[in-house]
């Protein structure tokens, strides 16, 4: 009896363990989840760039994507969290371009590559650049700590690269921190002011030729200002 009872009670437990609970939704594939998150970030970036933080809601982003607000909350629990995630994504792209300077040994090559990377960012990510600029112009109320933690070390590394080239006699010594500010300003303008620039040259938008011309000019101005006089 005890053997029969044991066998009889074990089987149902095994069966229950192998039957999926219909109330538990299956997990979405990781790739699909990441893709949905990416789409949310892209739409949020576009709206934050156009309307600013205060002018955007989770509802407006969800409506544009054709999903529910509840579905949005599955990925981002608040507008603040989504906004910071957008800035994080923009910053990652921007910092990737800042790595160029410290990796090069020749100053002219480094400067040319850096300016090219910055202009490519302005051309390819104008909405992200606009979100970033809005945050900075407002005094970075939601992002100051991350800027201090991540951008300042990169800036100092680039300044040290310039200082090394100056010690080696390859370039003139100037205030390299402010030189970086000048490079940032010149390249950033091709994101923030691109519609105006296009209007002034009679185009709907700047094309690759315009960015190539900007790269050549800005690089020439910077490298000539640093060239050692014979």
- Name the residue ranges covered by the structural domains of the chain: 87-226
pLDDT at position 16 is: 45
Q: How far apart are alpha carbons 4 and 51 in whole angstroms?
A: 72
pLDDT at position 24 is: 54
pLDDT at position 131 is: 94
pTM greater than 0.85 (yes/no): no
The one-digit pLDDT tens for each residue of the chain (230 residues) are 444 444 444 444 444 444 445 555 555 558 888 889 999 999 999 999 999 999 999 999 999 999 999 998 999 999 999 999 999 999 998 887 777 777 778 999 999 999 999 999 999 999 999 999 999 989 999 999 999 999 999 899 999 999 999 999 999 999 999 999 999 999 999 999 999 999 999 999 999 999 999 999 999 999 999 997 54
pLDDT at position 34 is: 85
pLDDT at position 21 is: 54
pLDDT at position 123 is: 94
- The CATH superfamily assigned to 87-226 is Tetracycline Repressor, domain 2 (1.10.357.10)
> Which residues have CB under 8 Å from 56's CB, separation 6+?
44, 47, 48, 79
């Amino acid at each position: 009896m005890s053997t029969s009872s044991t066998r009889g009670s074990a089987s149902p437990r095994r069966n229950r363990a192998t039957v999926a609970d219909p109330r538990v939704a299956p997990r979405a594939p990781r790739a699909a989840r990441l893709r949905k998150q990416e789409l949310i970030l892209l739409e949020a970036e576009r709206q934050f760039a156009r309307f600013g933080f205060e002018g955007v809601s989770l509802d407006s982003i969800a409506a544009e994507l054709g999903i529910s607000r509840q579905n949005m909350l599955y990925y981002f629990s608040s507008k603040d969290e989504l906004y910071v995630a957008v800035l994080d994504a923009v910053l990652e792209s921007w910092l990737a371009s800042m790595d160029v300077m410290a990796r090069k040994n020749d100053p002219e090559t480094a400067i040319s590559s850096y300016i090219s990377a910055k202009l490519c960012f302005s051309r390819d990510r104008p909405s992200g650049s606009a979100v970033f600029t809005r945050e900075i112009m407002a005094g970075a109320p939601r992002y100051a700590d991350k800027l201090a933690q991540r951008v300042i070390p990169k800036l100092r590394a680039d300044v040290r690269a310039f200082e090394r080239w100056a010690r080696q006699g390859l370039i003139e010594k100037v205030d390299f921190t402010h030189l970086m500010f000048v490079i940032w300003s010149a390249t950033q303008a091709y994101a923030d002011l691109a519609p105006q620039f296009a209007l002034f040259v009679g185009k709907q938008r700047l094309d690759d030729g315009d960015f190539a011309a900007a790269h050549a000019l800005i690089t020439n101005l910077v490298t000539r200002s640093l060239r050692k006089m014979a």
